[in-house]
Chains A and B, each alone.
Chain A
Amino acid sequence: MELDIQNVSKKYNRNTYGLKDFSIHIEKGILGLLGANGAGKSTLLKMIATVSKPTSGIITLNKNNILKDANYMRSQLGFLPQDFGVYPNLNAHEFLEYMAAMKGIGGKNLNIKITQLLEGLNLTEAAKKPIGTYSGGMKQRVGIAQALLNNPKIILFDEPTVGLDPEERVRFRNLISDLANDCIVILSSHIVSDIDTIADKVAILKNGSLVSYGNQKEIIEKVTNKVFETLIENTQLNNFKKEHIIVSTSKKEGKLKVRYIANHPIENSIKKTATLEDAYLFLNKIT
């Protein structure tokens, strides 16, 4: 499996780009897409999912141009959009039946598969109740189930952990890791912790452009020896912000413990091990 995105742009009007000259080559495994809101993650995923067409550029899956043959992608795609709806009058089982029909799958075993998915995602009890009565997390799990209905070879998850409780998040991460054994999984989020534990590769987007792409180690190396921690007075914070990239703050002994990124640390700072979050914040600020 290989997905190739070459010089793809999405132009909304003369000066506004959703994505600008974006190129990336993706193979089997998990790709984490990191970026702030509006960075272009959803735009990219929608184009890969063939819901939206790029203004320019080419997207190929296994050398097949999906802009010309969208159904080649659709027949092996599992897609969980960031903001999706459901027909509230259908129950989860019916909704999954409907989604299966849309994807062009069926047969005698469909009901068994739907039952397996509902069981695996802890929705069995609610399966016969209208989805309109589900909580956000339950709807999100229905969304995950529909993405897996057709044995997808390429799976796109756009902000998939929204609405999931901490336990569900852990189970979901495990599930993604399992999925990545024989397909491409692209997972977008603006929460670094959703990605850093599972992604094989990470792409950081900013204002529609690719800022950095590589495995986590390569990206983290960009801030190695630049992450420090120190204690400052509350009153110093505003000035400190102007001169450094602050990763996090917390209170300690009446002062503020600040984790920051700098080429030259201030006095009494302790060097810390860099993380993907440090690198993400650093790349977002400096590029």
Chain B
Amino acid sequence: MKTFFTVVKLDYLQRTRNYAFLVTLCASLAIAYTFVPEPNANYSTIRIADYVGFYNSAWFGYATAIMTNIFLSLIGFYLINSAIKNDLETKVGQMITATPISNFNYLFCKVISNFLLLLTIVFTVFLMSIILFFLYNDGGPFQLFQFVKPYLIITIPTMFFIACLAIIFEVIFQKYSVLQNIIFFFLFSFLAFNSSKNETDFLLDTFGSQIVMHELEEKVKEITNTDKTTGISIGYISGNTTKAKKIKFTGVDFPLTFILSRIIWMVLGVIMIGFVSLFFHRFTIKNKLKTRENTKTIKENKSINELNLSELIISKINYSIFPLIKIELLLLIRKGKKWLWLINILGMILLAVLPLEIAHQMILPILWFLQVHRISDISTKEETFNIHLFTGSSYKPIQRIFTSKILASFFFMLIISLPLIIKLALNLNFLSSLFIVFGFLFLIVTSVVFGLLSKGKKIFEIVFFLITYANINGVIDVDYFGGFKKDLASIYTLLVLILILLGTSFFLKKKAAN
């Protein structure tokens, strides 16, 4: 048992002692600040038709717990789904293989470590919810239990299940993080929007928040004296909040069966871990891969040529940036599994054949998101692949190499989006074509800036994921590619933003080089 706690503690420490986690915590605080809107804010987060709750302890507790539950289930998965991959990449896994630790114990240690990471963020948000109460409350008393209860019954079991799910995905899909991300995206969408209406359904609700939403809906029906289904919205909804009426919400008396179901979800997670531990690779996948490749390629010719320096051709100076762009483009194209290109090609065909609106609003953001592994490490791949000492000692690294990476990404995204750009141009919709170009340019510079600031790609991936999720749900405020907005002013705003981010990226890169 002592070993178990030691492993969990050390794993937790090594994962939290980095800059990216600090940035994540700060971002969590900032996001949590918006979970209960300031009384005069022009957006709402949880809303039942025209109603929101009085700002009392219960509303603050439940609203922040549900928002954390939904957002952290989504973001949290991407934050923690590299626990095993890290051990594989750092080769610590090879050492673990040689220890007597069982597969289940190892995976369970990782689950607990994942869970603790998520709990750290949940705790940060929890503290913020109390601060928000004292900032905005409508005069009710502070009741700590109204804060603790929803977190304890709704959020924490969900976080544990997500911690298990992340490990299960890592075991099943091994190194294929793109596949993990895509499948989780669909799984999350299915689970989050699988609405429940009766007590039995609530037991099957993975996230456990439907019961609260149902209670709120019933309260509104009571007030309005109607049986009509009211519109419930969770997330950021802009406008119209000043007209929202208020209902008094005093919390939910969770049935015992529901509380038990929350525990069962956690147990289910552990059982699934036990199941996947039966076929956990135990860090042999890389070795297998290497052995296979080695037998194929490393039959070295034992010729003993010697390099004759006097015969070497004298190299000519050529400071052109194009050879760099060419190789960078090649790297982007070759990144990831080859079969993923089939999806890309399918996406490009859909861009060309589907009606403009669907292609622009749905297919394009999804197709761009599928390139996340390509564009998320524009500014960090030198360090990741340990090439930075070469680039750092090369000729004009910032002006030439850094620029070439941005340009190659630009051309890559242009190729991916070309069918729609051409189609729009043929329809004389040049504004939308331009919006798309600015859209992917915005993604590229955002990735660069986030990479330079966080020294990793995770933060950008999470933000990109959230934006895409909002995009395909039709949230106009985060439309950066002209799917919904068609005005010139939005293009100008985007252009200014791009220029600021571009300037920032060169400034940060120069600062890092110095």
Partners in one complex: yes
A125 to B388, CA, bound (A): 28
A189 to B298, CA, bound (A): 27
Whether B396 pairs with A104 at a CB distance below 8 angstroms is yes
Whether A87 pairs with B318 at a CB distance below 8 angstroms is no
Q: Which residues of B contact A175 (CB under 8 A)?
A: 306-307, 309
Whether B400 pairs with A104 at a CB distance below 8 angstroms is yes
- For B333, the closest partner residue in chain A by CB is A89
Q: Taking A121-B307, A122-B303 as contacts, is the C-beta distance between A104 and B317 under 8 angstroms?
A: yes
A148 at the interface (CB under 8 A from B): yes
List the one stretch of B54-62, B99-107, B323-331 in contact with chain A. B323-331
B222 at the interface (CB under 8 A from A): no
- For A95, the closest partner residue in chain B by CB is B327
> Pick the contact of A116 from B293, B312, B324, B391 — CB < 8 Å?
B312
Q: Which of B368-393 contact A (CB under 8 A)?
A: 385-393
Minimum C-beta distance from B500 to chain A (A): 28
- For A119, the closest partner residue in chain B by CB is B305
A216 at the interface (CB under 8 A from B): no
Minimum C-beta distance from B262 to chain A (A): 45
Q: Taking A107-B315, A175-B306 as contacts, is the C-beta distance between A83 and B386 under 8 angstroms?
A: yes
Whether A101 pairs with B297 at a CB distance below 8 angstroms is no
Whether B320 pairs with A106 at a CB distance below 8 angstroms is yes
Please tell me the number of chain A residues within 8 Å of chain B, measured between CB atoms: 62
B227 at the interface (CB under 8 A from A): no
A110 to B300, CA, bound (A): 25
> Pick the contact of A138 from B300, B306, B334 — CB < 8 Å?
B300
B401 at the interface (CB under 8 A from A): yes
A120 to B387, CA, bound (A): 24
> Pick the contact of A102 from B298, B390, B514 — CB < 8 Å?
B390
A85 to B299, CA, bound (A): 22
A244 at the interface (CB under 8 A from B): no
A150 at the interface (CB under 8 A from B): yes
A171 to B306, CA, bound (A): 7
Q: Which residues of A contact B303 (CB under 8 A)?
A: 122
* Count of A-B residue pairs with CB < 8 Å: 162
Type the 1/0 row for B311-348, where 1 means its CB is closer than 8 Å to any CB of A. 11111111110011001001100110000000000000
Q: Taking A75-B395, A86-B387, A117-B307 as contacts, is the C-beta distance between A105 and B301 under 8 angstroms?
A: no
Q: Which of A134-149 contact B (CB under 8 A)?
A: 134-135, 138, 146, 148-149
Q: Which residues of A contact B301 (CB under 8 A)?
A: 122, 124-125
B288 at the interface (CB under 8 A from A): no
A104 to B301, CA, bound (A): 32
Q: Which residues of B contact A249 (CB under 8 A)?
A: none
Type the 1/0 row for B352-371, where 1 means its CB is closer than 8 Å to any CB of A. 00000000000000000000
Q: Taking A84-B387, A122-B301, A175-B307 as contacts, is the C-beta distance between A71 and B316 under 8 angstroms?
A: no
Q: Which residues of B contact A116 (CB under 8 A)?
A: 307, 311-313
B296 at the interface (CB under 8 A from A): yes
A103 at the interface (CB under 8 A from B): yes
Q: Which residues of B contact A49 (CB under 8 A)?
A: 389, 392-393
Minimum C-beta distance from A156 to chain B (A): 9
- For A116, the closest partner residue in chain B by CB is B312
B304 at the interface (CB under 8 A from A): yes
- For B323, the closest partner residue in chain A by CB is A101
Q: Taking A103-B394, A179-B309 as contacts, is the C-beta distance between A89 and B327 under 8 angstroms?
A: no
- For A129, the closest partner residue in chain B by CB is B297
Q: Taking A53-B514, A94-B327, A106-B320 as contacts, is the C-beta distance between A99 and B390 under 8 angstroms?
A: yes
Q: Which residues of B contact A104 (CB under 8 A)?
A: 317-319, 394-396, 400
Q: Taking A107-B318, A126-B298 as contacts, is the C-beta distance between A102 and B391 under 8 angstroms?
A: yes
A197 at the interface (CB under 8 A from B): no
Q: Which of A68-108 contact B (CB under 8 A)?
A: 71, 74-75, 77, 79, 81, 83-90, 94, 97-107
Q: Which residues of A contact B293 (CB under 8 A)?
A: 132-133
Q: Taking A84-B389, A98-B324, A103-B395 as contacts, is the C-beta distance between A133 and B306 under 8 angstroms?
A: no
Minimum C-beta distance from B134 to chain A (A): 40
Whether B298 pairs with A138 at a CB distance below 8 angstroms is yes
A97 to B290, CA, bound (A): 25
A238 to B308, CA, bound (A): 50
Looking at A98, A129, A135, A179, which has the most chain B CB atoms within 10 Å of its CB? A98
Whether B393 pairs with A79 at a CB distance below 8 angstroms is yes
B225 at the interface (CB under 8 A from A): no
A135 to B300, CA, bound (A): 10
Q: Which residues of A contact B396 (CB under 8 A)?
A: 71, 74, 104
Minimum C-beta distance from A150 to chain B (A): 5
Q: Which residues of A contact B198 (CB under 8 A)?
A: none
Whether B306 pairs with A50 at a CB distance below 8 angstroms is no
Whether A100 pairs with B300 at a CB distance below 8 angstroms is no
Looking at B318, B386, B388, which has the most chain A CB atoms within 10 Å of its CB? B318
Whether B304 pairs with A122 at a CB distance below 8 angstroms is yes
Whether A84 pairs with B395 at a CB distance below 8 angstroms is no
Q: Which residues of A contact B287 (CB under 8 A)?
A: none
A51 to B512, CA, bound (A): 11
> Pick the contact of B318 from A52, A79, A86, A105 — CB < 8 Å?
A105
Whether A102 pairs with B324 at a CB distance below 8 angstroms is yes
> Pick the contact of B392 from A50, A99, A121, A167 — CB < 8 Å?
A50
A178 to B400, CA, bound (A): 32
B427 at the interface (CB under 8 A from A): no
A238 to B401, CA, bound (A): 56
> Pick the contact of B315 from A105, A126, A174 — CB < 8 Å?
A105
A169 at the interface (CB under 8 A from B): no
A99 to B296, CA, bound (A): 26
Type the 1/0 row for B219-245, where 1 means its CB is closer than 8 Å to any CB of A. 000000000000000000000000000
Q: Which residues of A contact B319 (CB under 8 A)?
A: 104
A83 to B388, CA, bound (A): 11
Whether B312 pairs with A148 at a CB distance below 8 angstroms is yes
Minimum C-beta distance from A159 to chain B (A): 13
Q: CB within 8 Å of B: which residues of A? A: 46, 49-53, 71, 74-75, 77, 79, 81, 83-90, 94, 97-107, 109-110, 112-113, 116-117, 119-122, 124-126, 129, 132-135, 138, 146, 148-151, 167, 171, 174-175, 178-179
Beyond contacts A51-B392, A98-B323, A171-B304: 14 other A-B pairs, Cβ-Cβ < 8 A, are: A50-B392, A50-B393, A51-B389, A74-B394, A90-B331, A94-B327, A101-B320, A103-B395, A109-B316, A113-B312, A122-B305, A124-B301, A171-B306, A175-B307
18 contacts between A and B (CB under 8 A): A50-B392, A51-B388, A53-B514, A74-B394, A75-B395, A84-B387, A89-B334, A90-B334, A94-B327, A102-B400, A103-B395, A109-B315, A120-B305, A121-B305, A138-B298, A175-B307, A178-B307, A179-B309
What are the 8 tightest A-B residue pairs by CB atom distance, in nearest-first order? A85-B386, A120-B307, A106-B318, A107-B316, A101-B323, A102-B394, A104-B395, A51-B392
Q: CB within 8 Å of A: which residues of B? A: 290, 293-294, 296-301, 303-309, 311-320, 323-324, 327, 330-331, 334-335, 385-397, 400-401, 514
